[in-house]
Each structure stands twice: as structure tokens, then as C-alpha cells.
Amino acid sequence: MTKRFDIATTYLTLLSIHRSDIIQRWMNCADVKKTLGHNGIAVDFFAKYFAVKVFDYALGVVIGKNKLGNCPVIGVMLVFFQKKNIPLEDVFFICVNLKNTLIAFMLNKGILDEKLLSEMCGLIDHNFSGVIKEYIQLHFQSRFEHESCNLPSYGNPASSQKAPSFDTPDSFLSASQYLQEIEIDSGVMDELAELEHETLASLNLTEGFSNSIGNDIADLFSQYAKMINRLVDFQELSYALFVLVEVLQNINFDEYENQATYLQIYSKAIINDLAMWRKSVFMEKNAADIHYLDKTLLSSIAQLQILLSQSDTQSDTVEFF
């Protein structure tokens, strides 16, 4: 049964108008700033790529546009947190302060009553319950992967293998089944293949990592993100790529000279994984599970995001757009 938010819907316009102010208050919470800071995450980076999107998704739940507890942004955010080894208690402090901020905002506006409090707490609590469940699963899966020694090491990330899945086999959808339900433009696939070849050739011909190469990689990932975004079954992967593209488009690679080797490693890993996924799902149609590379791709994308988004812990200013 879908949970109703009749009272919250009444104040949807008010919440939308004060969106930036609410996010600013959330990011200015002492526990949030401290938690992000000691985990090496810039407040403005988290606000722009995660906080704003989580808040927008929550408003979408209120009007019935989005499903409660099924936010693709949160999934991408948790992979990012997991790759940075952020403890669950820190995730708690970040999430619970959104709830505290909303309550404080509604009190300040004089609109909070028992019914509205119940609806807003229910909205955040149900989402937070899903956050805890997924984050625990990510950590459990990560330990399993390290113990099995079957997953690709980041020392050689191009050798991608199938990650162990904790989903039931009944949830698998094969490529052949999937392609009976959707239509794929072969021209788009050919264009992606050509971009992959050209970008990898550029990476292999240089030892550094120039702005030109960065732009080529951003263009390739952007084309993939647009293609994947049209496939509703891959929302997390699409959003992760869109975030990565925006990060790539807004940095000066000349400032990352010391990290050039790692930039090449992670970029090649993502390109090779995307190529493998494209071929096995959409070209050869032999993938037993269309999501078999999702976690590997999200992990590699998160690693590159982390490398490109080092925290400026002295910054107190949140800039959204």
C-alpha cells in the first residue's frame, strides 16, 4: 500500500521555494560539517551532487512521482561512502540531520503539527531504513569480495569479473529477455564503440592526463549516461555517470599531474567495463543478468569521483549551481 502524504502535499510549494535554504541549513549542521570534513568530503561537493538530489527525490515521493525508499541517488551516494570507508554512524549523522533540519524549518514557519510531523518523519525514516539496509549489505558484500579474492583489484581494474550478488536468482533478467522488451538504436551502439576506441587510443598514446583527454572521456561518459538514462532499469548507473561527467567537466587536469597514473587506471577500467557491458548485453546478448556489472561499474566510478573531489575542509560556503 502506498503511503499518503496529504498534509505534506499542502506545503510542497513552500518546501520547493525554500529548497536552497533547507539544504544550506542541513549542510551547516555541526555534525554534518564535522562528519563530511573528517571523511575528506567537501561540503559543496556533497551538497551539489547528493544532498540536493536526495531532497528533490523526497519531494517527488510526497507528490507520488517517486517511490518511497527507492532513490537511485542514495544508492550512488552509498557506494561513494562505502569506497571511502565511511562508518555507518557517520552515515547516520548525515541522514538524521536532514530530518532535524526539516522539523526545525517547519517549526520556524509555524506549520508543524502532529499530523505533518508524523508524515515527514515517516518519509525520512522509511528512506533511512533503506539506507541502513543497503549500506550494511554493501559492507557485507565488500568483505565477501575481499575474502573470495575473485574480484578485480584496483591495481589491475581492467580485468573485471562478475561480482557476487546477494539478489535471488529469480530477480535476474537475461539480456535476451530484456531486449525483447526494449528497442536499441544500433547506430548509438556503433557510435559508443567508436568513441571507446578513440578514447582508449588517446589514453594509450600519452603518459600524462591532459584537459583534452579529460574532455574526450567526459564526452564518452556523457553519451553513455544519455543512452542509459533512457533505460529505466539502470537509474543508479545513469546518475553516477552524470555526476562523474559534471565533475570531469569542471576540473583542471593540469592540477592532477601527480595523480595522472591513477586517473588513467580508473578511466580505462570504467571504459573497458562499459564496453564489456555494452557488448554482452546489447550486442552479443549473452549476459545471464543485465545487471551483472552494475556494482563493479559503480565502484570504479566512485573511485574516480573520490580522486577528483578531494575535500577543502576550510570551505564553509555551499554553492549549488
Q: Give residue-wise pLDDT tens across range 97-120.
A: 999 999 999 999 999 999 999 999
Specify which of 160-164, 205-209, 316-320 reaches the highest per-range mean pLDDT: 205-209
Residues 216, 204: contact at Cβ < 8 Å?
Answer: no
- Shared domain for 229 and 102, answered yes or no, is no
Question: Is 269 contained in some domain?
Answer: yes
Q: What is the mean pLDDT of residues 299-313?
A: 76
pLDDT at residue 183 tops 70: yes
Which pLDDT band holds residue 156 (cuts at 50, 70, 90)? Answer: very low
Q: Are residues 279 and 233 in the same domain?
A: yes
Q: What is the mean pLDDT of residues 182-187?
A: 87
Q: Which of 151-155, 269-273, 286-290 has the lowest mean pLDDT?
A: 151-155
Task: Report d(CA 160, CA 269) in Å as an integer.
Answer: 8
- The answer, yes or no, to whether residue 159 has pLDDT greater than 60, is no
Per the structure, the count of domains in the chain is: 2
For the record, the C-alpha cell of 75 comes out as 544508492
Query: In this model, does residue 151 exceed pLDDT 60?
Result: no
Q: How much is the pLDDT for 310?
A: 62
Is the domain of 220 the same as that of 124?
A: no
Flag whether 157 is in a domain: no
Report the percent of the chain where pLDDT is more than 90: 44
Q: Which residue, 119, 148, 177, sits at the end of a domain? A: 148
pLDDT for residue 154: 35
Predicted pLDDT at 190: 92
Asked if the model's pLDDT at residue 233 lies above 70, the reply is yes
Per-residue confidence at 2, pLDDT binned at 50, 70, 90?
A: low
- Please give the pLDDT value at position 160: 40
Mean pLDDT for the chain? 83
Q: How far apart are CA 38 and CA 249, in angstroms?
A: 26
Give every CB contact of residue 69 below 8 A, 6+ residues apart in sequence. 126, 127, 129, 130
What's residue 73's pLDDT?
Answer: 85
- Mean pLDDT across 63-71: 81
Residue 131 predicted with pLDDT over 90: no
Question: Does the pLDDT of residue 152 top 70, yes or no?
Answer: no
Instruction: Tell me which of 118, 148, 178 is where a domain ends.
Output: 148
pLDDT band at 316 (very low <50, low <70, confident <90, very high): very low
Cell triple for residue 319? Answer: 554553492
Residues 144 and 228 in one domain: no
Please indicate, yes or no, if residue 73 is contained in any of the structural domains.
yes
Percent of the chain beyond pLDDT 70? 85
- pLDDT band at 163, cuts 50/70/90? very low
Residue 318 lies in a domain: no
Tens of pLDDT along 278-293?
999 999 999 999 999 9
Between 129 and 90, the more confident residue is 90
Residue 316 covered by a domain: no
Of 130-134, 141-145, 156-160, highest mean pLDDT: 130-134
SS3 181: coil
Predicted confidence at residue 208, as pLDDT, reads 75
Query: What is the total residue count of the chain?
Result: 321
- Domain presence at residue 315: no
Look up cell 570507508; give the residue: 85
| 121/18 same-domain check | yes
Whether residue 212 is predicted with pLDDT greater than 50 in this model: the reply is yes
The pLDDT value recorded for residue 145 is 47
Range of the domain at 66: 8-148
Please compute the mean of the pLDDT values over residues 270-281 and round it to a whole number.
94
The string of DSSP letters for 250-316 reads TS-GGGGGGGHHHHHHHHHHHHHHHHHHHIIIIIS---S-TTTTHHHHHHHHHHHHHHH-B--TT--
82 and 177 together in one domain:
no
* CA-to-CA separations, 298 to 79, 82, 126, 211, 239, in angstroms, rounded: 7, 11, 24, 24, 10
